[in-house]
């Protein structure tokens, strides 16, 4: 199975499970008396809130892990104990200033403007 099909399968399974849970909760609330339905809805709301907090925390941790650090070439400059720069990595620093209707084009590598 390719990754694309696995991802689609997970999405379909999650949609089915969530749909069944919501339908089951709806039937349970519809069958129960008003006071019991209120209690059930409160518990479902609290569980949804806790689940949302857990998903939010997991997403924040994953985003923090995937955030790129400073380029290795920048660390290697002027630091004797720094690791050597990886091939193809370079430290680029740019500054530009424009007045009136001027345009400024900046790139950290090769760049083509107007087919030139």
pLDDT at 88 over 90: no
Report the pLDDT value the prediction gives residue 68, as an integer from 0 to 100: 67
Q: Which of 81, 77, 79 lies closest to 91 in space, CA to CA? A: 77
Report the pLDDT value the prediction gives residue 53, as an integer from 0 to 100: 95
Report the pLDDT value the prediction gives residue 69, as an integer from 0 to 100: 61
E strand or H helix at 60, and its extent?
Answer: helix 34-66
pLDDT at 61 over 70: yes
Q: Comparing 84 with 23, which gets the higher pLDDT? A: 23
Where along the chain do its domains lie? 3-65
Report the pLDDT value the prediction gives residue 74, as an integer from 0 to 100: 46
What's the pTM value of the predicted model, to 2 decimals?
0.43
User: Hey, is 82 helix, strand or coil?
Assistant: coil
Give yes or no for a contact between 11 and 23, defined as CB atoms under 8 angstroms apart. no
Report the pLDDT value the prediction gives residue 104, as an integer from 0 to 100: 73
Question: From CA 93, how far away is CA 111, in angstroms rounded?
Answer: 16
pLDDT, average across residues 83-110: 66
pLDDT at 82 over 70: no
Q: For residue range 29-48, list pLDDT tens digits in order.
A: 788 888 888 888 899 899 99
């Amino acid at each position: 199975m390719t990754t694309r099909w696995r991802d689609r399968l997970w999405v379909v399974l999650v949609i089915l499970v969530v749909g069944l849970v919501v339908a089951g909760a709806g039937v349970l609330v519809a069958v129960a008396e008003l006071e019991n339905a209120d209690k059930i809805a409160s518990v479902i709301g609290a569980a949804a809130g806790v689940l949302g907090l857990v998903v939010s925390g997991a997403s924040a941790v994953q985003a923090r892990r995937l955030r790129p650090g400073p380029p290795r070439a920048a660390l290697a400059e002027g630091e004797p104990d720094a690791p050597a720069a990886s091939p193809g990595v370079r430290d680029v620093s740019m500054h530009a200033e424009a007045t009136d209707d001027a345009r400024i084009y900046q790139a950290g590598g090769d760049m083509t403007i107007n087919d030139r």
